[in-house]
Amino acid sequence: MDFVSGLPLTPIRNDSVWVIVDRLIKSAHFIPVRTDYSLQKLAKLYVAEIKNILRFGRKGKLSPRFIGPYRMLKRVGLVAYQLQLLPELDRIHDVFHVSMLRCYRSDPTHIVPVEEIEIRPDLTFEEEPVQILDRKVKVLRKKSIPLVKVLWRNHNSEEAT
């Protein structure tokens, strides 16, 4: 965390930038502030800022939990490892906490080439449905819910949802 001060005034009278590097979630925040802001005002700005972060692998029902496998290059500290990522992932920091990694046992059917995922510049991606495999209606006490089983692009039939 640091402040860059002495900058020209913006139209809303900001004269500094508050720089926060969060190594846990691998993000950096650059928040325009004024030098006379109180700690409470800075805390409110920080909380409002982290709500707007887009992370790679956004949590959701259809999001992949892991990508890879990738070779571990070296251990960095007690609880982090540097991975050998592909050139297409050069915008992602290559050191990860052990809680973000899983042991992998080789299985060629698990490999999804990165170029097929089409990661956007903001590090998000979109799944595309290919085919509806099955339809049924779940009947509850007071209502009926139509259900479909969907085959997704870049997934096999066992991974249909």
pLDDT at position 54, please? 43
Q: What is the pLDDT of residue 75?
A: 93
What percent of the chain is modeled with pLDDT above 90? Answer: 6
pTM of the predicted model over 0.75: no
| CA dist., res. 81 & res. 160, Å (int) | 33
Closest to 120 in 3D by CA, of 88, 142, 82: 88
Domain map of the chain by residue range?
A: 2-50, 71-117, 129-159
Residue 19 has which token pair?
């720089």
Instruction: Work out the average pLDDT over 14-20.
Output: 88
> Average pLDDT of the chain?
79
With vertex at residue 8, the alpha carbon angle to CA 7 and CA 9, rounded to the nearest 5 degrees, is: 115
160: part of which helix (H) or strand (E)?
Answer: none
Segment among 8-12, 31-35, 105-109 with least mean pLDDT: 105-109
End-to-end Cα separation, the chain, in angstroms: 43
